[in-house]
Amino acid sequence: MIGQIPLDTSAIAIWGLDGDFTDRSGNGKTLTGTATYDFLNNFGGFGGQVCDFTGGYATTSGLSNFGATDPYTVGCWIYFDVLPGSGTFFNFISRQDGSTRNYELSIYNNAGTTKVFFSNGVGGADLNGSQTISAGQWYFIVATHSSADSGTNKIYINGVLDNSKTSTGNTGQPTSNTRIATAAGGGSALNGKMDEVFIYSRELSATEIKDKYWEGINYGKYN
């Protein structure tokens, strides 16, 4: 379908969230939902539905941890009904045991200002976004980790590079499963909507990410 995240051999998991948690990549990584969540019509989305999380989350097993030199991309369309309280996170794509992170994509409220946070480990692996995030609107948020250029982490918001940083920390090797809409052992459960969640074993290019954002605007009705 036009605008959906493309299928290729680097797709590890693609969850369209069109009425179920099926993995569209063909790898069989179907999510299992935990209350409370619902699938909504008429709220945007390529398949006509999005998943509304109100304290619930979804998880899958069988995904391997990335190594420090492994490139990858994680991302989704996301709509925050509310923002996290000061000093807290909303985790929305993660594989972590507390601060032992293989990847974590979240938003963080620092003294009333909320920005995207991405990490592929601990310490020097942490990257804070630049753009302030607001409730009540759709965002296309993507994070990439590169095996080239010294292992750079990047955050893209709505198809535009928001911030980047060379990762100097240690890549975590957690035992918990991958989760969306929350994290095992850390952060708070999302209160908002998600759609077209994806994990790739390569770094999507800036052009690919921008193209997917505009296809979402033009065909996915996320505006």
Condensed to tens digits (0 to 9), the pLDDT of residues 12-56 reads: 999 999 999 999 999 999 999 998 999 999 888 888 899 999 989
- Amino acid sitting at position 70: D
Distance between CA 15 and CA 13 in Å, rounded? 7
Distance between CA 15 and CA 22 in Å, rounded? 6
Distance between CA 106 and CA 92 in Å, rounded? 5
193 pLDDT tier (thresholds 50, 70, 90): very high
The three-state secondary structure class of 124 is: helix
The three-state secondary structure class of 110 is: strand
CATH code of 11-219, in short, is 2.60.120.200
| Maximum C-alpha span of the chain | 43
Q: How far is CA 23 from CA 3, 12, 139, 145, in A?
A: 17, 9, 22, 22
pLDDT digits 0-9 by tens, 95-106: 988 778 889 999
Mean pLDDT of the 77-84 span: 96
Beta strands in the chain (DSSP E): 11-15, 32-34, 37-41, 49-54, 57-60, 72-80, 89-97, 100-110, 113-119, 126-128, 138-145, 152-157, 160-166, 178-180, 191-200
Do 132 and 109 contact (CB within 8 A), yes or no? no
Global pTM exceeds 0.85: yes
Q: What is the mean pLDDT of the chain?
A: 90
